[in-house]
């Protein structure tokens, strides 16, 4: 079953992914999340990409590949529909977008630190920050729900799945495992979700 906001998010993400196949360079330059200040375009566009405020949201609607899109949208459908049914469309959309922004801010802090230490500048794109916020909310709202993992194919309660995933992301971010994956954006989405749920008195704080 598709709920209204999840349905529109799926359609918008899919449409922009198709647009990327034609206008990849311009969309990457204008809508992906770039570090503050001017950075090297890497030959992708004629202009020089830079940070613009709207990128705090728009980066969450671009994806780096088909599997990136499919996995994010599958998780958004799997966990988001149940939350939207419980909260209503307006609250769910607010939560999702705030998690997208929170993830972006967390990643920007990490990117600026990396640049100051001589690291390379690269754009961030993908709905993962919002999706991780949704995953966090699902785990706190439906902690006893059993999920079936794909690898390995074993059942696990939602609360333990969220905890384990969060620890893995933190470890990967600190150690630099899976270079090119914005681990701190994922963690930023989850942390933003915790703050927002606490403020709204949802989940364990109800």
User: 79-94, pLDDT tens digit by residue?
Assistant: 999 999 999 999 999 9
User: Strand, coil or helix: what is 60?
Assistant: helix
Residue 41's pLDDT band, with cuts at 50, 70 and 90, is: very low
**Higher pLDDT residue, 64 or 180?**
64
177 pLDDT more than 70:
no
CB 136 within 8 A of CB 193: yes
Mean pLDDT value across the chain: 84
**Higher pLDDT residue, 115 or 101?**
101
Every domain of the chain and the residues it spans? 4-205
State whether CATH 1.20.1540.10 applies to domain 4-205: yes
99 pLDDT more than 50:
yes
Tokens of 164: 């384990």
Residue 184's pLDDT band, with cuts at 50, 70 and 90, is: confident
**Higher pLDDT residue, 131 or 110?**
131
Alpha-helical runs (H) found in the chain: 4-31, 55-58, 66-87, 89-116, 128-141, 158-175, 183-200
111 pLDDT more than 60:
yes
Mean pLDDT for 23-37 is 87
Provide, rounded to the nearest whole percent, the portion of the chain with pLDDT above 70.
Answer: 83
14 pLDDT more than 70:
yes
Burial class (CB in 10 A: 0-12, 13-18, 19+), 77: middle
Q: Distance between CA 170 and CA 189 in Å, rounded?
A: 12
Beta-carbon-side half-sphere exposure of residue 26 (alpha carbons within 13 Å): 5
**Cis ω on the peptide bond leading into residue 175 (within 30° of 0)?**
no
73 pLDDT more than 50:
yes
Mean pLDDT for 134-161 is 85
Tokens of 55: 């990128």
Backbone angles phi, psi at 124, to 5 degrees: -110, 135
Is the CA virtual torsion 26, 27, 29, 30 positive or negative? Answer: positive
CB 6 within 8 A of CB 77: yes
pLDDT, residue 150, reads: 67
**Residues identified as active-site:** 128, 186
């Amino acid at each position: 079953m598709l709920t209204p906001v999840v349905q529109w998010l799926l359609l918008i993400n899919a449409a922009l992914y198709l647009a990327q196949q034609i206008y990849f360079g311009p969309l990457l330059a204008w809508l992906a999340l770039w570090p503050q200040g001017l950075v090297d375009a890497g030959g992708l566009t004629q202009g020089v990409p830079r940070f613009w405020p709207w990128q705090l949201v728009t980066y969450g609607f671009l994806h780096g590949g088909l599997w990136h899109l499919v996995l994010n949208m599958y998780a958004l459908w799997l966990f988001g529909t149940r939350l939207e049914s419980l909260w209503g469309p307006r609250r769910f959309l607010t939560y999702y977008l705030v998690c997208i922004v929170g993830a972006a801010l967390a990643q920007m802090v990490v990117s600026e630190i990396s640049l100051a230490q001589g690291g390379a500048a690269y754009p961030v794109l993908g709905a993962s920050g919002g999706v991780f916020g949704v995953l966090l909310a699902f785990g706190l709202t439906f902690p006893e729900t059993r999920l079936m993992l794909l690898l390995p194919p074993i059942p696990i309660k939602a609360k333990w799945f969220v905890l384990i995933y969060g620890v893995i992301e933190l470890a990967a971010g600190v150690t630099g495992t899976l270079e090119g994956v914005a681990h701190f954006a994922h963690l930023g989405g989850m942390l933003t979700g915790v703050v927002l749920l606490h403020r709204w008195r949802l989940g364990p704080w109800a």
